[in-house]
Amino acid sequence: MTDTAFATFVSPEFVRGLPKAELHMHIEGSLEPELMFELAQRNGITLPYASVDEIRAAYAFSNLQDFLDIYYQGASVLQTAEDFKDLALAYFRRLAADGGVHAEIFFDPQTHTDRGIAFGVVMEGLLAGMDEAERTLGVTSKLILCFLRHLSEDAAFETLELAKPWLNKLAGVGLDSSEVGHPPAKFARVLRAARDLGLKVVAHAGEEGPPAYVWEAIDVVKVDRIDHGNRALEDAALTERLVRDGTTLTVCPLSNLKLCGVPSLDVHPLKRMLDLGLKATVNSDDPAYFGGYLLDNYLATAAAVGLTRDDVVTLARNSFEGAFLTQAEKAERLARLDAYVAAH
């Protein structure tokens, strides 16, 4: 008999109400087609699509690069601080509705500065959205600046310079965009410089790239978390190391499905990761493009791979334990989680 034969049924309402954090979400990837149209109109930009339906129809990807090409094009409607604020607030409203109480969001400044939008415009807008979300929704958040790994190390250093006046508003730096051919070691020096400035360091690794990139992320870059990490499972010694170190993996099931990292959600490795003792978390990555926000990711994966109630609680617990919060802040949120579990 399989484990799932003994599985405690986990109700969607239980998962929705469960306090949880999201640790892997690119704010530009939360741009819904409706808001894309609205901002295009507001800013006098012509989109290469005639309707929201036409945009959604274009969201059929066969790999990461397919998606990135469309994602960078969509971000062109973001022009003013108000646009970035509206984008952030729309995301936080969805997160709060999903039972999210904390988020650590990625942003890609180079996508904006390279088309003439000032770094400060992006920061002011996102920070205004984050402030308002905390005041009106009770959702706390942190910002992680991602360097685009298809660009040069020099370009990343220039971006780090732009970030220096904003250091106290940033929790960390990360690496995103096209993984294969751009290993973490390409950015070891700039990530080290960011760490020396007091920032946490994360990197997308093992999404499409080989286990060797995950090894590099932990041994060369010495990351604080691995974003994705799926392909680490191909290497038993690497898996063992991640378990031993308690490294948080920010896993994104619907993203993996949409970018063809898995042929179907039933064979997604999330359950296996938990059974191996990996500190996996569930995240939405680019929810407007991949067909679901945080709760959708929990529920679709729970149904597909047979997550138990205990699994789901572990995932939510991992999301707080892996967050860039102080021990006291984690304890406060974990106590909320424990109280919820005890009451339901």
Catalytically annotated residues: 207
- Which region, left, alpha or beta, applies to residue 343 given φ > 0 means left and ψ of -120 to 50 means alpha? alpha
Q: Which residue is nearest to ligand HPA (CB)?
A: 176
Segment 304-333, which members bind ligand HPA (CB under 6 A)? none
User: CB-wise, 224 or 227, nearer to ligand HPA?
Assistant: 227
- Select the residue interacting with ligand HPA from 255, 281, 301, 308 (CB under 6 A): 255
**Whole-angstrom Cα distance, residue 233 to residue 236?**
7
User: CB-wise, 86 or 176, nearer to ligand HPA?
Assistant: 176
DSSP category for residue 102: E
Q: What is the enclosing helix (H) or strand (E) of 225? A: strand 225-228
- Select the residue interacting with ligand HPA from 64, 87, 139, 242 (CB under 6 A): 64
User: CB-wise, 223 or 337, nearer to ligand HPA?
Assistant: 223
DSSP string over 252-296? -HHHHHHTTSSSSGGG-THHHHHHHT-EEEE--BSHHHHT--HHH
Letters for 269-308 (x = contact with Zn ion by CB under 5 A, - = none) are: ----------------x-----------------------
| Shortest Å distance, C-beta 174 to ligand HPA | 9
Segment 149-188, which members bind ligand HPA (CB under 6 A)? 176-177
Segment 72-91, which members bind ligand HPA (CB under 6 A)? none
**Whole-angstrom Cα distance, residue 240 to residue 246?**
10
The phi, psi pair for 338, rounded to 5°, reads -60, -40
**CA geometry: angle at 315 spanning 311 and 321, to 5°?**
135
Q: What is the enclosing helix (H) or strand (E) of 68? A: helix 64-74
Interface with Zn ion (CB under 5 A): 285
The binding site for ligand HPA (CB under 6 A) comprises 26, 29, 64, 71, 176-177, 204, 207, 255, 285-286
